[in-house]
Every structure is written in structure tokens, then in C-alpha cells.
Amino acid sequence: MSWTEERIERLKSMWSEGSTASQIADELGGVSRNAVIGKAHRLGLEARPSPVKPGEEKETPKKAAKAAAPKAAKAPKAEPPAAAANAADVAPGDAPDGPGPDLPSQAPQAQRPQAATPDATLQYRSVGPGGFIRQGPGDTQAPIPPAPPRRLVPAKPSAEVADKTSLLDLNDRICRWPIGHPGEPDFHFCGQSANPGFPYCVQHCGVAYQAQLPRRDRRPPPPLPFGGPRVR
DNA sequence: CCCTGATTCGC
DNA sequence: GCGAATCAGG
């Protein structure tokens, strides 16, 4: 699998949105987590908040011997003064409290002006029994919550999904092969009788499971499990 | 153990 | 340039 324009683009956006290297690797398919990290660094995407603590450094004998030279080049990284200044600029009211560092939107990483992906920061919040409302990061004023309905009734499934196998229909006897993309109106599952002992029907087992060949001889590009790349 | 990202280095 | 192996922290 090679780094095509599309795949690099996907990597860039997901990386800057805060997806983990593993998630990116899964999504792209055909590459390892390490490959993603390696590529990201080669692209210069570097330096986003990682679980690694930048604070201190121990000197184990092994490391001292091995990394004596490289350490110099590694040094310029986190800049506590700048970070502190940024934190001071933030108004007391909008401190990033709720979400953890995993969430893409308002993590302290936002200081790096990335050209792409200014979106994907919509927030959904519950307004109580009335349901949910959507709020973008640019919305300064709190949206007016809709008047709560008298009672809550189950939403009717859309016509597209009415006959199809939904998430709730899944069990261990029917094929769980996804058709379409999650979030799209007609996303559903295969629903055929599953091959006993497998999560898929016989046909989809044929797609999902393939004989393991020696690395060099692996021919077919791995089947894309969700019906192929999303086209927009 | 699991996970994370960072780095190295043979290819 | 690529990515497995390895390192290091959570």
C-alpha cells in the first residue's frame, strides 16, 4: 500500500483532528500504526499533545549510552513559557473543562494554525427531555432550547432503513457485514444467515477471511470493509 | 498487560 | 521514503 495523494490528505486531516495513529491506520487500511506515525513525522505534522510527559528525563545507563548525541537535536520541543502565556490569554469563562485531551475540538493543540480542517467541531448537547441541539464553535450565544415536547416517542426509522438490518437487529446468527457508511441514512448490515461460528454470512466470510501468505507474496489490496472509500 | 507517540535504522 | 523494531510514558 502506498501513500497516494488521497491517503496523505486523509492522514493529515485525521492527524490534525486528533485521531490517534492507530485509528488513522485502521481507517486508511493496509498500514500500521508505526507507518502512520513515521509518515506523519516525515510530513512535518509533528508535535501534537501526546501522552508522553515532556517534563523530566531519566538517565538510564542504556539510554545515556545510546542517545547521547541525538538528545541535542531532540531538545527543542515543548515551550512552557509560550504555553503559559497562551493559557493566560484565555478568558476565565471559556476554560476547556469538559472534554478530555482525546477530543479534537478545543484541546490546547489548537495553537498550531493548520491550513485544512477548520470544521468538525460541532457540539451536540442535551437540552433535557426535549432532545439535543447542535452548536458550532463560532456560536457565541447559547442556542435557544426548543420547547420540550409533551412526551417522548420513539423516532420512526427512515424509509431507507425500514426494511434493512439495523444495529439493533444484530445477533450472533445473522451477518454483521456493514453495507454503506455509518451515519449515512441507508447504512445497514447484510442480515443474511451468518456462517455458524463467524460473524458474517458465507459470502462475506469469503471477503473477510483470506489465507495468510508470506509478506512479499500478498497480492490483493486488502478488501475495504465498508464498501470502499467515501466519495464526495 | 493495554495503550500512546517518538526515534532509529536497515531496506 | 518507508516502516518494523524499539523506546518511553500513561
A73-124 pLDDT per residue, tens: 333 333 444 444 444 444 444 444 434 344 344 434 334 344 444 444 555 5
* Distance in Å, residue A114 CA to nucleotide C6 C1': 31
Q: Does residue A186 or residue A213 have the better pLDDT?
A: A186
Note the strand B nucleotides within 7 A of protein beta carbons.
Answer: 3-8
Q: What is the pLDDT, as a whole number, of residue A206? A: 79
Neighbours of A46 (CB within 10 A): 13
Residue nearest to nucleotide C4 (CA to C1'): A34
Rounded to whole angstroms, the Cα distance separating A78 from A48 reads 10
Q: How far apart are CA A118 and CA A17, in angstroms?
A: 9
pLDDT over 60 (residue A201): yes
- Whole-number Cα distances in Å, A186 to A85, A167, A181, A191, A194: 48, 12, 8, 14, 21
Give the span between the Cα atoms of A14 and A114, in whole angstroms: 12
Question: pLDDT category, A141, cuts 50, 70, 90?
Answer: low
Mean pLDDT, to the nearest integer, of A142-156? 57
For residue A102, what pLDDT is reported?
40
A166-184 pLDDT per residue, tens: 777 778 888 888 888 777 7
Pick A155 or A195 by higher pLDDT.
A195
CA closest to C9 C1', residue: A52
Q: What is residue A38's predicted lDDT score, i.e. its pLDDT? A: 93
pTM: 0.34
| The pLDDT value given to residue A7 | 92
Q: Quick one: pLDDT at residue A17?
A: 82
Strand B neighbors by CB, 7 A: A 20-23, 33-34, 37-38, 40-41, 46-48, 50-52, 67, 70, 73-74
Residue A37 reports pLDDT greater than 90: yes
- In angstroms, how far is C8 C1' from A107 CA? 23
The closest of A37, A56, A57, A59 to A48, measured between CA atoms, is: A37
